[in-house]
Structure 1
Amino acid sequence: QNPPLNLALNEAPVTSRGALSHLGIQVASTDDVLGMKQKWSDAGLLTRDEMQTNCCFAIQDKAWVRDPDGNEWEVFVVLKDNLPEADACACGDKLTTISSTI
């Protein structure tokens, strides 16, 4: 039920050559999400929250950061899984507006 690695590949239109949509780390609790966000902030990285957001057929709490190579990372916890398709994905905005400051 809780594998050590959760790999999800989702097909999406290509927006730029060689682009990776984002990478995610699933954790056990909202406290874990907030703890990772704090570590990123303490390291001087710009972060963004998405709490109680609908994404990938689930309600999730998330924090986002962009690494030095421009890859977006999310740390997330699934709060409620298997939402109906109509509520499946209202994923938030990317960090594109803040990428130049990192």
Structure 2
Amino acid sequence: AMAVRAVSEFAGVPISHFVSVHFEELEEIVDMLGGVWVDVPESFSAGNGGMSFEAGSQLLNGQQALAYARERYHVSGGDFGRAQAQRQIVEAVIRQVLA
């Protein structure tokens, strides 16, 4: 609750809801949806899970989505690249649910 209040005050916007998803839950959600489409901006080999990704639009399963969302060492931008990947996965899950 304190973290939500601090972010809300810092950003100047009310936060009424948030979602917390653990690694295994992310994999399960993505797999239940039949995978999610993500446009990978650059090719790289992920240290987490030992997977490789080619640049371009592709359908990721749960294990791939988690590895993609966790990588920060082998992508441009480091933590910022990881944050972008995490946003892409969340947006892809939302698009798939709404479809």
- Give the TM-score of the pair, scaled to structure 1: 0.30
- Give the TM-score of the pair, scaled to structure 2: 0.30
Determine which structure has the larger helix proportion and give its number: 2
